[in-house]
């Protein structure tokens, strides 16, 4: 199942290349290139397949990660990419996705809500504050009374 593929690092001077051993692993029916340090190069198609498997009821991220020999947090980062729309996840029989539903926020004002604005009447050293719901007649009456008192 595993093939060893020697390659030459062309970043070195010609004739002095360093031979490294790479191999392929078969995971989920896909061939994954594994570097000399064991680092795998996962195609997006395989990432999406593994993420989809974590959405099957009863299957955990830990189970899928253990089965393919990776750390669960690595697989969780791919799930985040999928949620952000940066990774395509295929439909998988049995996978359960929760649909996102956006609801408009209510625009009605509750009775207990505080007024957004208030009326301030400043006359000399006196400040009179009224709720925003004060009628124009009430405000005018207060202003006239203050003017008579000066």
Q: Which residues pair with 126 in a beta bridge?
A: 123
Average pLDDT along the chain: 77
The residue among 139, 100, 98 whose CA lies nearest residue 117 is: 139
Residue 135 has pLDDT above 90, yes or no: no
pLDDT for 94-110, tens place per residue?
766 655 566 777 666 55
How much is the pLDDT for 89?
86
pLDDT for 42-94, tens place per residue?
889 899 989 999 988 899 999 999 998 899 999 999 999 998 889 988 887 77
pLDDT band at 140 (very low <50, low <70, confident <90, very high): confident
How much is the pLDDT for 98?
58
How much is the pLDDT for 108?
62
pLDDT band at 13 (very low <50, low <70, confident <90, very high): very low
Q: How many helices (H) and strands (E) does the chain have?
A: 4, 6
How much is the pLDDT for 60?
93
The residue among 62, 58, 38 whose CA lies nearest residue 50 is: 62
Domain coordinates of the chain in residue numbers? 1-10+18-41, 43-96, 118-149
How much is the pLDDT for 114?
60
Cβ–Cβ < 8 Å for 78, 46: no
Residue 33 has pLDDT above 60, yes or no: yes
What number is the average pLDDT over the span 112-116? 59
């Amino acid at each position: 199942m595993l093939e060893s593929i020697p390659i030459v690092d062309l970043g070195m001077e010609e004739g002095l290349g360093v031979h490294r051993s790479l191999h392929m692993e078969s995971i989920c029916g896909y061939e994954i290139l594994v570097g000399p340090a064991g680092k795998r190069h996962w195609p997006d198609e395989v990432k999406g397949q593994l993420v989809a498997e974590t959405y099957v009821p009863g299957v955990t991220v830990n189970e899928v990660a253990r089965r393919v020999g990776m750390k669960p947090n690595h697989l969780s980062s791919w799930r985040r990419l999928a949620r952000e729309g940066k990774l395509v996840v295929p439909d998988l029989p049995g996978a359960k996705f929760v649909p996102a539903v956006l609801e408009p926020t209510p625009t009605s004002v509750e009775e207990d809500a505080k007024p957004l604005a208030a009326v301030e009447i400043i006359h000399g050293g006196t400040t009179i504050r009224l709720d925003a719901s004060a009628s124009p007649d009430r405000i005018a009456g207060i202003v006239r009374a203050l003017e008579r008192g000066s």
